[in-house]
Structure 1
Amino acid sequence: MSARISDSTVYSHLWGTDELRQIFDERGRLQGWLDVLAALARAQAAEGLIPAGAAETITAELRVDRLDLDRVARGTRETGHSTLGLIHELRRVLPEPAREHVYVGATVQDVTDTWTSLATRAVGGIVWRDLRRIEDRLLDLAVAHRDTPIAGRTHGQPGAPATFGWKAASWADEIRRHLDRLREGAPRWLVGQLGGGIGTLVAYGDRGLAVRARFCADLGLADPVISWLSARDRIAEFGGLLALVTGTLARIGEEVYELQRPEIGELGEPRPEGVVGSITMHHKRNPEGSEHLNTLARLVRANAGVLLESVVSQHERDGRAWKAEWVALPEVCLLSGTALRLGVQLVEGLEVRSDRMAANLRTHLGGTQNPSDAGAAAAMVDLVVARARRARSEESPSWP
């Protein structure tokens, strides 16, 4: 039984997705580490530092299902070292000619930071996919409701006429900026890490830079130029972007939450078959999806703050920084993935009640739009849609 509600059999769907759990669960993470070690062995063999046969054996044999994870756990506790239990287990399961050549000249962070970059690539691909799906639906809403009148609100009160398409276009434009940030950040985030004890590659002599270049290329990552054992800005930046993304989804959710109140009734979130609002007040249709987007965004911001704290680290390595990331980064990613899933469901199933929008406009603002106001709003919708369509035609549907 798990003590964390996010891992609960009953409630885990609220705090993560199966797709993302496959990246961060125990076996997925360990297999990722093993893949990194296999790439390291291949790079070392290519530079003549270990026998080619040993690299081939390591590549073939490093499979998480061959490991005794209880033995790894005991070794980790007994030695007090993050990966020594794993190293002992690898040397136990590898054939004699290869065991002395696994994990040579690398440090814990070489393995875990490089895997973090690989995990970032996988997570970023999911974020990119879902953001584009959300953007696509919001652009459709902007076009369909380009001229649908609605009361614009400031400080929670009706202020001046607008259109719902204009509102949807503002959401789409913000989503587009996150897509831009994802694209621009990829070269900074998707880099390998190989430096040894303090990051100087001293264990590989004059072959260090060549080994690192081969190692990164093998994994499809960029060479970092200089080791980043204590430079944690990359991970903090990625976590910060996910905090921004979930903040935008919460902003959209807040609008839907407010505008579906019965006394306003301009929007409605989708309600799947069988969903119950209240077991004591049967007339209620609770805004569970839009509400939960706010909850998720709060938790992402909190954990992204931990990642930001790690930017302040000491000397050439500081365990206080990167070990905190082991907890905070998966949380940020799992929670963000859930928010994106909910965001897709929300916008794709959104009910737009244009009759209520028009009625509220008449009630609170005394009539309909001024033609010049409607024209300006429509022109802005056209600009947003055109810019987004142009960007989508020029970018890959996948990331990076």
Structure 2
Amino acid sequence: MPSAADSTLPSGRRSLAATDIALGPLDGRYRVDAAPLVDHLSEAALNRNRLHVEVEWFLHLTEQAVLPGLSPVNAEQRDGLRSIVTGFGPEEIAELAAIERETVHDVKAVEYFIGRCLPALGLEALTPLVHFACTSEDINNLAYALGIRDAVREVWAPTAQRVVDQIRELGEAHAETPMLSRTHGQPATPTTLGKELAVFAHRLDRQLARIGRQEYLGKINGATGTFAAHVAAAPAVDWLEVSRTFVEGLGLTWNPLTTQIESHDWQAELYADVARFNRILHNFCTDVWSYISIGYFKQIPVAGATGSSTMPHKVNPIRFENAEANLEIANGLLDTLAATLVTSRWQRDLTDSSSQRNVGVALGHGLLALNNVAKGLRQLDVAGETLADDLDHNWEVLGEAIQTVMRAEAIAGTPGMDNPYERLKELTRGHRVDEARLREFVGELGLSDGAEGRLQRLTPGSYIGIAAKLARRA
């Protein structure tokens, strides 16, 4: 295996490994789409959140005066400590990386980094208070919870909501546009395009509501969750209360009972809900793709874009196909994370450490899919003539209405309404029935005047029930 410094590969080709080229698509081809997550789920963002947790724990301990001689720092010192976090940029990232190369431990490097900042603030004597009574997981679980929470709330969920709003708005615009349904791929009782879109908007909204109620749990209770070191150092302190107020002060939900690790159950719950949202959106993409294939949707050509490298007439539904692929990749990772993170050997193993570093990749592929769906929707136009023509060639779908009216007539005492289903089955199954034959059939049934009038006025395009009303409910 050649090193990054090698100039050529065994094949004789020039090596690209030493250049600034991304291995993964989210950091390469699709970086613009995934970039908003970098501020929350990159390694640098994780370290910034670790600094945040360490600094706030330091301040919390001084404010609570948990140790003899400990008192709150002054306002200037407090602001100086917090500026370690707010000022964390490229130079600080490089300095922290250099410390980690020495410690070979990421959280210990954060502790030392903060310790180096204390003398300038007049707090050198309090250096032992940094990372006081903490295990690495006390810091990591809170840092990850903060990063994941902010990534979901500030990036993924708003993007998802905008896509759902697009679907809803398109549905509202076509609430009354009649469309032939297909059940099992066969012509079925008509609906409206708007109602079918509203179903997806409603389903996706439910998942967003669940995600919006998600708790982001955190703990700070020592090496095995017993507060043993805390009690050994300060036995009179109510460490449960100190822990609770600290975690809740970070804007997280306190988990009082853990092993060395926070159990990650909340992450499994979140990833299951996000994956379910993705699966519904995937279903939406395959339906839209299918409607495009039968001409219900027309794609608006983009100036200068190539649909096919050899067939100039084509405008391929690439946005929805790209979204499908990325939703599948996202869910493969989300499902793995949900299954892996809820399990730990005894009090601690490191499988979660490697796993959690891929949360950004999972959400990144989902974000890429959402952006593709949004772009695809903006390039759709409804082919009203195709919808109307399809309905006009399927008058047999009124068979359901006729046999149901016959049942109602039979209950009301109208004679001659025997075997309605079988009579319509004989008329319609296996062959097309045009308007003239269907109206003739209705006229021969002997229905009451009101019932016959309703059926004679009915067309495939008007046989939509309250679909328009349902569409507007979304």
| Class of the TM-score when normalised by the shorter of the 2 chains | 0.7 to 0.9
Answer yes or no: is the 8 Å Cα contact 1:270–1:345 preserved in 2. no
Task: Specify whether residues 82 and 141 from structure 1 end up closer, same or farther in structure 2 by C-alpha distance, changes over 3 A only.
Answer: same
Q: Does 1:53 align with 2:82?
A: no
In the superposition, the TM-score normalised over structure 1's length comes to 0.83
Q: Does 1:155 align with 2:175?
A: no
Task: Specify whether residues 166 and 383 from structure 1 end up closer, same or farther in structure 2 by C-alpha distance, changes over 3 A only.
Answer: closer
Of stretches 302-311 and 290-299 in structure 1, the one that deviates more from structure 2 is 302-311
Provide the rounded CA distance (Å) in 2 between the counterparts of 1:66 and 1:212.
32
1:336: which partner in 2?
366
What secondary structure does 1:4 align onto?
coil
Of stretches 274-283 and 231-240 in structure 1, the one that deviates more from structure 2 is 274-283
2:333: which partner in 1?
303
- Tell me how far 1:303 sits from its aligned partner: 0.3
- Tell me how far 1:79 sits from its aligned partner: 4.3
Task: Specify whether residues 172 and 83 from structure 1 end up closer, same or farther in structure 2 by C-alpha distance, changes over 3 A only.
Answer: same
Match for 1:53: what amino acid? V
Match for 1:175: what amino acid? L
Can you give the 5+ residue segments of structure 1 that lack an aligned partner in the other structure? 389-400
2:227: which partner in 1?
201
Q: How much is the aligned-residue C-alpha RMSD, in angstroms? A: 3.0
Task: Specify whether residues 227 and 46 from structure 1 end up closer, same or farther in structure 2 by C-alpha distance, changes over 3 A only.
Answer: farther
Match for 1:167: what amino acid? E
Match for 1:12: what amino acid? R
Deviations 1:302-352, CA, capped at 9 Å, x for gaps? 10122122212222222113431222x111211222222233333354322
Instruction: Please give the residue correspondences for 1:175-214 in structure 2 after superposition, counting only pairs within 5 Å.
Output: 175-184=204-213, 186=214, 189-205=215-231, 206-214=237-245
* Equivalent residues, number: 379
1:5: which partner in 2?
24
- Tell me how far 1:169 sits from its aligned partner: 1.5
Q: Pick the aligned partner of 1:239 from 264, 271, 274.
A: 271
Can you give the 5+ residue segments of structure 2 that lack an aligned partner in the other structure? 1-19, 232-236, 402-457
What secondary structure does 1:332 align onto?
helix
Of stretches 367-376 and 1-10 in structure 1, the one that deviates more from structure 2 is 367-376
What secondary structure does 1:330 align onto?
helix
Provide the rounded CA distance (Å) in 1 between the counterparts of 2:150 and 2:373.
19
What secondary structure does 1:152 align onto?
strand
Instruction: Please give the residue correspondences for 1:213-252 in structure 2 after superposition, counting only pairs within 5 Å.
Output: 213-227=244-258, 229=261, 231-252=263-284
Deviations 1:220-240, CA, capped at 9 Å, x for gaps? 222223337252221111112
Task: Specify whether residues 102 and 272 from structure 1 end up closer, same or farther in structure 2 by C-alpha distance, changes over 3 A only.
Answer: farther
Answer yes or no: is the 8 Å Cα contact 1:150–1:357 preserved in 2. yes
What secondary structure does 1:153 align onto?
strand
Answer yes or no: is the 8 Å Cα contact 1:158–1:365 preserved in 2. no
- Tell me how far 1:170 sits from its aligned partner: 1.1
What secondary structure does 2:187 align onto?
strand
Instruction: Please give the residue correspondences for 1:362-373 in structure 2 after superposition, counting only pairs within 5 Å.
Output: 362-363=392-393, 371=458
Q: Pick the aligned partner of 1:87 from 83, 99, 111.
A: 111
Answer yes or no: is the 8 Å Cα contact 1:174–1:248 preserved in 2. yes
Task: Specify whether residues 333 and 216 from structure 1 end up closer, same or farther in structure 2 by C-alpha distance, changes over 3 A only.
Answer: same
Q: Pick the aligned partner of 2:316 from 286, 291, 302.
A: 286
% same residue: 22
Q: Does 1:109 align with 2:137?
A: yes
More helix by share: 1
Answer yes or no: is the 8 Å Cα contact 2:319–2:376 preserved in 1. yes
Provide the rounded CA distance (Å) in 1 between the counterparts of 2:343 and 2:132.
29
Answer yes or no: is the 8 Å Cα contact 1:230–1:318 preserved in 2. no
- Tell me how far 1:278 sits from its aligned partner: 2.4
- Tell me how far 1:294 sits from its aligned partner: 0.6
1:319: which partner in 2?
350
1:395: which partner in 2?
none
What secondary structure does 2:182 align onto?
strand
Q: Pick the aligned partner of 2:381 from 332, 345, 351.
A: 351
1:255: which partner in 2?
287
What secondary structure does 2:179 align onto?
strand
